[in-house]
């Protein structure tokens, strides 16, 4: 298959692995920011192949994982209202809040639906005018344009039964927070290709200037990941730090201006709570005043809900790259994909799920 096979082929992978090993005069610590990259690395065993020369640390780039507990609780609370249908992406439905997940709420009678696109949620509102359709809008810069489009479409259609529960987050403030952490071990970043496709990579220049860490934009296939690691290692070996785009087939320096305009029109930057990391300055998006009609929290006047957390789960440290998932006492024991204690065990982008799935029983 075009654009897939050539980026998974054995021969280029082996040459890239050999070149990375040849370049390394010491063991470098590199963070792959996005959970999709973590899954790619583990799925193909790249972490094992490079164990001697590169330590790969997973970053916080799993949107489902960082969605705060109170947002999930609020979603469940809304879904239990008789007039509401709460819809979101599949992963989000499985993440536990403090009193179960949306899927469990559905089994108990709440109206919860799965969609592949926010526009499907708008369509659901058109088809069911008697229902209040609430879309649980989660994700990074990658999904925000689509949810912004959904708001614009709902406005155009004059829908008064569609609203958003917004928990959008922005990746760069989280990277800056990690880099400024006194415990930081990360020497270089593999920036998330999908986020950069929308947001571009020019904004990383300031991060590179400030922290002197290489930022290399990479994709998700083995050849993409290995090319990115090689570029990062080259810079580190030469004592350089710059922004490099190793995912040029998808990412332009300025990103996707049309998508950015959409986000800009509907959302504004705000400080936002991240599950596991606390409030990150400028770390999220909220609806602009002009779009407040579509804010589910305002529409349904939800007060603050108390949240209950389990002290044993160490997802915060996992999301920061401070520990590997396997170092958590719960990993593979009380915490598995069927009975997740924390969000990283749930999502297809979660670091704990990646280690559980690809590292095998030996790691558990």
By CB under 8 A, name the binding residues for another protein: 1, 4, 8-10, 13-14, 17, 42-46, 48-49, 68-69, 90, 94, 96-101, 103-104, 106-108, 114, 116, 177, 180-182, 222, 275-278, 308-317, 319-320, 334, 337-339, 341-343, 348, 356-362
Closer to another protein by Cβ: residue 269 or 316: 316
Using CA atoms, how far residue 42 sits from 55, 249, 253, in Å, is 13, 23, 28
Closer to another protein by Cβ: residue 176 or 295: 176
As measured in angstroms, the least distance from the Cβ of 133 to another protein is 17
Q: Which residue(s) pair with 51 in the sheet?
A: none
As measured in angstroms, the least distance from the Cβ of 131 to another protein is 16
- What is the spatial distance between Cα 13 and Cα 293, in angstroms, rounded to a whole number? 51
Closer to another protein by Cβ: residue 301 or 362: 362
Closer to another protein by Cβ: residue 33 or 266: 33
The interaxial angle of helices 351-358 and 35-43, nearest 10 deg, is 10
- What is the spatial distance between Cα 139 and Cα 219, in angstroms, rounded to a whole number? 18
Contact 232, 19 (CB under 8 A): no
As measured in angstroms, the least distance from the Cβ of 44 to another protein is 4
Closest CA to 68 of 275, 276, 278: 275
> Cβ-count burial of 180 within 10 angstroms (0-12 exposed, 13-18 middle, 19+ buried)?
exposed
> Cβ-count burial of 156 within 10 angstroms (0-12 exposed, 13-18 middle, 19+ buried)?
exposed
As measured in angstroms, the least distance from the Cβ of 291 to another protein is 28
Q: Residue 318 — φ and ψ, nearest 5°?
A: -65, -45
- What is the spatial distance between Cα 78 and Cα 55, in angstroms, rounded to a whole number? 43
Closer to another protein by Cβ: residue 181 or 261: 181
As measured in angstroms, the least distance from the Cβ of 171 to another protein is 16
Closer to another protein by Cβ: residue 67 or 260: 67
As measured in angstroms, the least distance from the Cβ of 145 to another protein is 18
- What is the spatial distance between Cα 345 and Cα 342, in angstroms, rounded to a whole number? 6
Closer to another protein by Cβ: residue 4 or 303: 4
Q: Residue 247: how many CB atoms within 10 A of its CB?
A: 24
Q: Sign (positive/negative) of CA torsion 8, 352, 32, 191?
A: positive
As measured in angstroms, the least distance from the Cβ of 299 to another protein is 26
As measured in angstroms, the least distance from the Cβ of 298 to another protein is 26
Contact 42, 354 (CB under 8 A): yes
Looking from the CA of 33 toward its CB, the CA atoms found within 13 Å total 28
Closer to another protein by Cβ: residue 44 or 324: 44
Closer to another protein by Cβ: residue 141 or 176: 176
Q: Which residue(s) pair with 178 in the sheet?
A: none
As measured in angstroms, the least distance from the Cβ of 232 to another protein is 18
């Amino acid at each position: 298959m075009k654009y897939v096979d050539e980026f998974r082929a054995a021969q280029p992978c082996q040459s890239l692995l050999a070149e990375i090993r040849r370049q390394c005069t010491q063991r470098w610590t590199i963070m792959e920011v996005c959970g999709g990259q973590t899954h790619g690395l583990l799925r193909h065993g790249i972490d094992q192949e490079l164990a001697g020369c590169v330590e790969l640390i997973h970053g916080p780039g799993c949107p489902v994982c960082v969605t705060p507990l109170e947002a999930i609780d609020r979603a469940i609370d809304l879904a239990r209202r008789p007039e509401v249908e709460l819809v979101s992406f599949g992963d989000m439905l499985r993440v536990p809040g403090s009193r179960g997940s949306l899927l469990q709420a559905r089994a108990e009678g709440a109206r919860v639906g799965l969609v592949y696109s926010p526009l499907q949620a708008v369509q659901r509102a058109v088809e069911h005018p008697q229902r209040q359709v609430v879309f649980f809008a989660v994700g990074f810069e990658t999904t925000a344009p689509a949810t912004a489009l959904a708001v614009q479409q709902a406005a155009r259609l004059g829908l008064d039964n569609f609203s958003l529960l917004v928990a959008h987050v922005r990746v760069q403030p989280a990277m800056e927070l990690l880099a400024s952490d006194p415990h930081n071990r990360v020497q270089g970043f593999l920036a998330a290709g999908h986020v950069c496709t929308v947001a571009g990579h020019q904004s990383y220049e300031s991060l590179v200037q400030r922290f002197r860490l290489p930022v290399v934009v990479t994709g998700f296939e083995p050849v993409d990941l290995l090319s990115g690691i090689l570029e990062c290692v080259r810079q580190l070996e030469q004592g350089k730090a710059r922004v490099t785009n190793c995912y040029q087939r998808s990412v332009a320096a300025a990103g996707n201006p049309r998508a950015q305009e959409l986000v800009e029109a509907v959302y504004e930057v705000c400080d936002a709570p991240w599950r596991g990391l606390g409030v990150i300055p400028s770390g999220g998006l909220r609806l602009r005043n002009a779009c407040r009609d579509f804010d589910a929290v305002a529409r349904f006047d939800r007060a603050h809900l108390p949240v209950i957390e389990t002290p044993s789960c160490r997802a915060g440290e996992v999301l920061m790259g401070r520990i590997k998932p396997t170092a958590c006492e719960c990993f593979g024991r009380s915490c598995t994909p069927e009975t997740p204690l924390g969000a990283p065990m749930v999502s297809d982008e979660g670091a704990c799920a990646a280690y559980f799935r690809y590292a095998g029983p030996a790691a558990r």
